[in-house]
Amino acid sequence: MTVHIGAEPGDIADIVLMPGDPLRAKWAAETFLEDAVCYNKVRGMLGFTGTWNGHRISIQGSGMGMPSLSIYANELIRDFDVKTLIRIGSAGAMQKDVAIRDVVLAMTATTVSSPSRGILKELNFAPCANWELLHAAWNVAQTRSVKTHVGGIYSSDVFYDERPDLNEQMTRHGILAVEMEAAELYTLAARYGRRALAVLTISDHLLTGDVLPAEERERSFGDMVEIALEAATA
């Protein structure tokens, strides 16, 4: 048991999927896992463990933004010895050829700042995904009828962004999409020698203004969860 995760030793699997929304964690656990048991309700950040195709899997909400993700990822790694952490979440497209409902596999994650900046100081560390997970996720995606992109994303430290010039530079430099957590997850995984990947569903488009309708989100997010599960257990 930690300050933020009310689990006992053995309650959490070696593989953890991390949606930002704790209610999405509940939905994913109830939809995809067998015999799912809730091990955490502290601060409403729900966490569940069950099985998927015979593999023990946990799904833990991370909250929104890198500071919140950092708390849960640190505790999962340091206190529960989690080996594989996969972020599953939504993202905003930043390229014309990336469309609503597409899946993005984040090879790298650029950021202006993160909780790890205090450690890295002047170093421009380049956070990246675990190759085995990335390669497995790509292979899984090719067997599904889901348009999938692999490349760099931008992890923003603000939701209400007032830097259109920065977004323009991200688009100019080929960044596929923006979200708020992956850069810190990848940095922590590198620090502790763990495997990490971000599998993201495009829910809105910064260039076109398109938004994924609420009634279609569950089906689209389901594709993302299944890609993550298959990649983690490959």
DSSP letters for 94-149: -STT--TT-EEEEEEEE-S--TTHHHHTT-----B--HHHHHHHHHHHHTTT--EE
Strand bridging mode 84-93 / 103-110: unpaired
Answer yes or no: are the C-beta atoms of 195 and 84 closer than 8 Å. yes
Does 97 qualify as catalytic in the annotation?
no
Count the residues in the chain: 234
Unique residue bearing structure tokens 């849960």? 72
Answer yes or no: are the C-beta atoms of 61 and 24 closer than 8 Å. yes
Helix (H/G/I), strand (E/B), else coil: 218? helix
Which tokens is 140 given? 């899984």
C-alpha–C-alpha distance, residues 116 and 214, integer Å: 34
**Catalytic entry in 21, 157, 204, 210:** 204
C-alpha–C-alpha distance, residues 152 and 126, integer Å: 11
**Catalytic center residues:** 204
